[in-house]
Amino acid sequence: MAATAAAFLEVDRCGLFSLPLSLSPRSFLLPRRQLPGLRLFHPCRLSATLVPSSKAASKSGSHREDSLEGVEAVVVEPKGSQGMQLRKRVIFGLGIGFGAGGVVVAGGWVFTVALAAAVFAGAREYFELVRSRGIASGMTPPPRYVSRVCSVICALMPILTLYFGHIDVSVTSSAFIVAMALILQRGNPRFAQLSSAVFGLFYCGYLPCFWIKLRCGLSVPALNTKLGHVWPVFLGGQAHWTVGLVATLISISSIIAADTFAFLGGRAFGRTPLTHISPKKTLEGVFAGLTGCIVTAVLLSKILCWPRTLLSASAFGVLNFTGSLFGDLIESMIKRDAGVKDSGSLIPGHGGILDRCDSYVFTGALCYSFVKIVLPLLGV
């Protein structure tokens, strides 16, 4: 068959839309103006591969038996754009890092409101993923009004946690409200709607609240921290440097180090795939990330004088890495089922809030449990 036959071109890997296009060479340049519905900032090189005509007919919705050969294509970004994306990622990453550091040090309502805003954006992204074609084709997603209500409830949970000091009542009440809203909706309620909505409350609302309990709930002063001795009195003095602040700083810094070392180690030495959920992750990258996380936790524990022993600091680093790794994999699993690469496009070079914060979702609960339960057992 001639390659000039009309065919359907899949531009995104999710197959969200198809575009009739006449193809002549096996590879060609496609300027942005030819794809008004696709967000492209540079011309993209598309490589074409011939597939059986039945597959093309099924994708186009046509039932003609004499359909011509179809063409599938993948987008390959120009080499120069990869360097620009990396620079953009580094610039915005540094900006987010310094901003988040200031928010963590400030604590209190500043930290809580910032976390609530991030939680709201993350919840909106989660429910958009649930409504995506990849997931919605196998289950019924919650109605949009329920998704919006759940997003607002998730954003209120950190505020209620700071105000009341606990999160049990808010979570159970929220789940009951969402269940009632689903049962009373018009039409035929589905269990899949309830399960995805309740998991959204747990994943996007309940788990991030442990960062409030960690940062603001552990208010015992870290008396051994030397920075507290020179901290200005008008900023809180030595009492400002609490166990919660020190633990939060070490935890976040360790996660950043784990992501950085895993990325660099994977690119330099990565050979063995870790899991099909995230094909780019390798065992070599995981080992590099674990090493960087433990080293960072131990170094910061020496600087901040918490925790006091090498064993507890190393265990804290392992715990942070474990939470960050599986948080990343769980979000990758959700995106894989949804058929998308990024959860959103809020942060240039990074994707969405969930893409940037997936490593922190479970880590807050693990770190809080470590400080409240494990450290007292170790006598620290």
CA-to-CA distance for 69 and 64, rounded, in angstroms?
12
Q: Tell me, what amino acid is at 281?
A: K
27-81 pLDDT tens trace = 444 444 444 434 333 444 444 444 444 444 444 444 443 333 444 444 444 555 6
Omega before 307 within 30 of 0, i.e. cis: yes
In a shared domain, residues 168 and 238 = yes
pLDDT confidence bin for 349, thresholds 50/70/90 = confident
Decide if 286 is inside a domain.
yes
Choose between 169 and 22: higher pLDDT: 169
In a shared domain, residues 241 and 181 = yes
Contacts 24+ apart (CB under 8 A), 142-145: 142/182, 142/193, 142/196, 142/197, 143/182, 143/185, 143/193, 145/181
112-124 pLDDT tens trace = 999 999 999 999 9
CA-to-CA distance for 21 and 11, rounded, in angstroms?
11
C-beta separation of 117 from 106 below 8 A: no
Q: Tell me, what amino acid is at 345?
A: S
Decide if 221 is inside a domain.
yes
pTM of the predicted model, to two decimals?
Answer: 0.78
Burial of 65 (0-12, 13-18, 19+ CB in 10 A): exposed
The answer, yes or no, to whether residue 177 has pLDDT greater than 70, is yes
Decide if 14 is inside a domain.
yes
Query: To which residue do tokens 């979000």 refer?
Result: 331
Domain boundary among 32, 48, 77: 77
Decide if 269 is inside a domain.
yes
Q: How many domains does the chain have?
A: 2
Query: To which residue do tokens 């809580």 refer?
Result: 112
Q: Residue 215: how many CB atoms within 10 A of its CB?
A: 29
Work out the percent of the chain whose per-residue pLDDT is above 70.
78
Decide if 188 is inside a domain.
yes
In a shared domain, residues 246 and 370 = yes
In a shared domain, residues 63 and 127 = no
In a shared domain, residues 45 and 187 = no
SS3 242: strand
Q: Tell me, what amino acid is at 136?
A: A
100-150 pLDDT tens trace = 999 999 999 999 999 999 999 999 999 999 998 878 877 888 999 999 999
Closest residue by Cα to residue 37 from 14, 60, 24, 18? 18
Decide if 196 is inside a domain.
yes
245-279 pLDDT tens trace = 999 999 999 999 999 999 999 999 999 999 999 98
pLDDT confidence bin for 82, thresholds 50/70/90 = low
Domain boundary among 42, 77, 112: 77
pLDDT confidence bin for 88, thresholds 50/70/90 = confident
In a shared domain, residues 195 and 217 = yes
Structure tokens at 231: 């901290």
Count CA atoms closer than 13 A to 308's CA, side-chain side.
8
Choose between 93 and 31: higher pLDDT: 93
Decide if 100 is inside a domain.
yes
In a shared domain, residues 111 and 51 = no
213-242 pLDDT tens trace = 999 999 999 988 888 888 998 888 989 999
Average pLDDT, the chain: 81
pLDDT of residue 374: 93
pLDDT of residue 81: 62
Work out the percent of the chain whose per-residue pLDDT is above 90.
55
In a shared domain, residues 227 and 156 = yes
pLDDT of residue 327: 96
* Strands 44-51 vs 6-9: parallel, antiparallel or unpaired: unpaired
Q: Where are the alpha helices (DSSP H) in 131-186?
A: 133-136, 144-164, 168-183
The residue range of the domain holding 62 is: 6-77
Decide if 1 is inside a domain.
no
In a shared domain, residues 279 and 186 = yes
In a shared domain, residues 64 and 163 = no
Q: What's the whole-number mean pLDDT along residues 271-291? A: 94
pLDDT confidence bin for 189, thresholds 50/70/90 = confident
In a shared domain, residues 68 and 182 = no
In a shared domain, residues 90 and 67 = no
Domain boundary among 18, 42, 77: 77
pLDDT of residue 79: 54
Count CA atoms closer than 13 A to 254's CA, side-chain side.
34
Structure tokens at 182: 């689903």
C-beta separation of 161 from 170 below 8 A: yes
